[in-house]
Amino acid sequence: MRFIDYLDKFSGTLLGVSIGDTLGHPFEGMIREEIYAKFTIFEDYLNKHKHLFNTYTDDTQLTIHTTQALIQGSGFNLDNFIREYIAWLDDPPIGPGFGCISSIKKLRYGIPWENAASNSGGNGTAMRISPLGLFYCKDITNLCDTVLKTSQLTHSHPAASAGAIVIARAIAYLIELTPETSIPIDRFFTTITSPILDSNEPIWNELVEILDKVKQNLNIPIEAGLIKFSQAGVRSPYFIEQYLGKAFVHPYTLSTVACAIFIFLKSLSSFKDCLYSLATAGGDSDTVGAIGGGLAGAYFGLKNIPEDLVKIVKGSKRILKLSSDLYNKFKERYG
């Protein structure tokens, strides 16, 4: 049997989120071809412009608060989650999405979460969900239930919960693998879509169909795939016509999740290559970096993350400490 170092995987995942977010942040809102016009080799650009990669954003902030809430409650506890998300307002938020900030401000005013949640299908819940994929990796029924509750705290739209469930399930699946063996592609897609399969919710079914197309298109180049998927599932009034036919990942959950998974699976030669590809996706680059970075970190583990990328993250020691605290709670509960 393969030995899995879960602490290494927990640390790799949370650090992966923050590295992808930090690397993608300077490229948020740019078309992919504009980003690639800036350099021939990404690493040279990174080394020359370190000052641009000086912070993570809301994706990592909310992942940290989600982790803290899980640690405090040794699992999901509604009050802890609400308190942690409200505390995020004092961080203060960096580059927040409208769905998140509007609902969390309502929570702060004491409005019950059922009324506070925004009817947004934005990617704000998928970006923060990886700690639940870690903590509940041995308990998939609870994983799906708690991800749904966590997502609905701020986003009542089914697109948001569909993407959050898929990403958390993917994290739970990937930490059981090691980069020494390849990812069984059919099994990967079957596993991550199984919790949202055959649902009464049309948007959950739509994400299953989009992910099936991602699987069928893993042989096309990244640029072509991003043109295909970067507005997947997006509808008016969120559709941005000027970016049609461009690699510009729309900050909608279905499109962001599809693109992050597509790039991740296309870039498995190393953690570094994977993160460089994710963070330069175009459009919502920091969130593609954060979501895909979590997947990459779960798969590669901390031991395969180069030291220079760990160092780029502001407060990386704090994130490593939180990873280890979350791991200890996981060990206490699941042995």
Which residue has 């300077």 as its token pair?
26
Which residue has 């298109």 as its token pair?
217
Please state, in angstroms and rounded to a whole number, the distance separating the CA atoms of residues 44 and 42: 5
Phi, psi of 71 (to 5 degrees): -65, -45
Considering the complex, what minimum distance in angstroms separates the CB of residue 124 from Mg ion?
Answer: 9
Considering the complex, what minimum distance in angstroms separates the CB of residue 272 from Mg ion?
Answer: 21
SS3 state at 53: coil
Please state, in angstroms and rounded to a whole number, the distance separating the CA atoms of residues 186 and 144: 21
Q: Nearest residue by C-beta to Mg ion?
A: 57
Considering the complex, what minimum distance in angstroms separates the CB of residue 163 from Mg ion?
Answer: 15
Q: Note whether 293 binds Mg ion by CB under 5 A.
A: no
Taking CB under 5 A as the binding criterion, the range among 37-45, 199-207, 278-286, 299-307 that sits at the site for Mg ion is 278-286
Closer CB to Mg ion, 177 or 275, in the complex: 275
Phi, psi of 120 (to 5 degrees): -105, 140
Angstrom CA distances, 328 to 142, 283, 294, 323, 332, stand at 18, 37, 19, 9, 6
Count, residues near Mg ion per rule CB under 5 A: 5
Which residues, in sequence order, are bridge partners of residue 249? 283
> Of residues 3-62, which lie at the interface with Mg ion (CB under 5 A)?
57-59
Transcribe 157-196 into DSSP letters.
Answer: SHHHHHHHHHHHHHHHHHTT--TTS---HHHHHHHHHGGG
Considering the complex, what minimum distance in angstroms separates the CB of residue 20 from Mg ion?
Answer: 10
Site string for Mg ion, 91-110 (x = CB under 5 A): ----x---------------
> Of residues 51-80, which lie at the interface with Mg ion (CB under 5 A)?
57-59
Closer CB to Mg ion, 29 or 306, in the complex: 29
Contact with Mg ion (CB under 5 A): which of 189, 286, 298, 316?
A: 286
Taking CB under 5 A as the binding criterion, the range among 154-162, 243-251, 280-288, 319-327 that sits at the site for Mg ion is 280-288
Taking CB under 5 A as the binding criterion, the range among 11-19, 235-243, 284-292, 308-316 that sits at the site for Mg ion is 284-292
> Of residues 199-228, which lie at the interface with Mg ion (CB under 5 A)?
none
Considering the complex, what minimum distance in angstroms separates the CB of residue 142 from Mg ion?
Answer: 28
Half-sphere exposure of 262 (CA within 13 A, CB side): 32
Q: Point out which residues bind Mg ion (CB under 5 A).
A: 57-59, 95, 286
